[in-house]
Amino acid sequence: METEAIDTAQATIIASIIAGLVALVTSFAGYAFQQRRAHAEQEHALKQIRGQLRADLERDQEKLKADLQADFQRDREGLRTQFMAEQVARRLLQEHRWPLRSFKILQHHLGGFTEDELRRILVRTGAVRFQSRSGLELWGLVDRNEDRLSVWKVDAEPETIPWGELYGSAAETQSAAD
């Protein structure tokens, strides 16, 4: 009997150990499965995020490229306008009959610029500013006015074309309007 009780006790202990080991292995297998599943879900989520980031990046790159091209074109047109304005200003200031031109005449011929923008254009062409006796703002190329660089006000008023020559006679103006 005693042997039977020991055998039963040993069998119970062995069964408990086996049940514990089975529970431990099952638990570990379940944990490993859950970890693999969680890892697979994370990988799937990361793939989706990567795909969305790539799509967003490509869209943003295309938008940036289009914006840069538009900015470049706008800047190019602005520079072309500035360059043409500088050429016109230089030609007006190189006219052999007038070493000095009034700012108002230059502003008339180079419309579309603020007064300060036009002054910057004139400076870029190599012009300097003077003032007539009556206070009129005058501009001339440095090359053509070296003798005046030491004075602020020039002695003479600028010569101008008579209004008839500048704008045509009243009859010519009326026929052009018709």
Can you spell out the DSSP letters for 78-121?
A: HHHHHHHHHHHHHHHHH-TT-SSEEHHHHHHHTTTS-HHHHHHH
Domain boundaries, the chain: 97-177
**Entry pTM:** 0.52
Min mean pLDDT across 1-10, 13-22, 95-104, 116-125 is at 1-10
Give tens-digit pLDDT for 163-172. 555 455 544 5
Q: What is the pLDDT of residue 33?
A: 87
Report the alpha-carbon distance of residue 127 to residue 129 in Å, rounded. Answer: 7
Give tens-digit pLDDT for 20-64. 888 888 888 888 889 889 888 999 998 999 999 999 989 999 999
Statement: residue 76 has pLDDT above 50? yes
SS3 164: helix
Contacts by 79-83, CB closer than 8 A, 24 or more apart: 82/121
Q: Give which of 96, 124, 99, 131 is closest to 110, Cα–Cα.
A: 124
Report the alpha-carbon distance of residue 14 to residue 27 in Å, rounded. Answer: 19
Statement: residue 158 has pLDDT above 90? no
Percentage of the chain with pLDDT > 90? Answer: 32
SS3 137: strand
Percentage of the chain with pLDDT > 70? Answer: 85
- Which of 129-147 are b and which e, b meaning 16 or more Cβ less than 10 Å from the residue's Cβ? ebebeeeebbbbbeebbee
Q: What is the pLDDT of residue 168?
A: 53
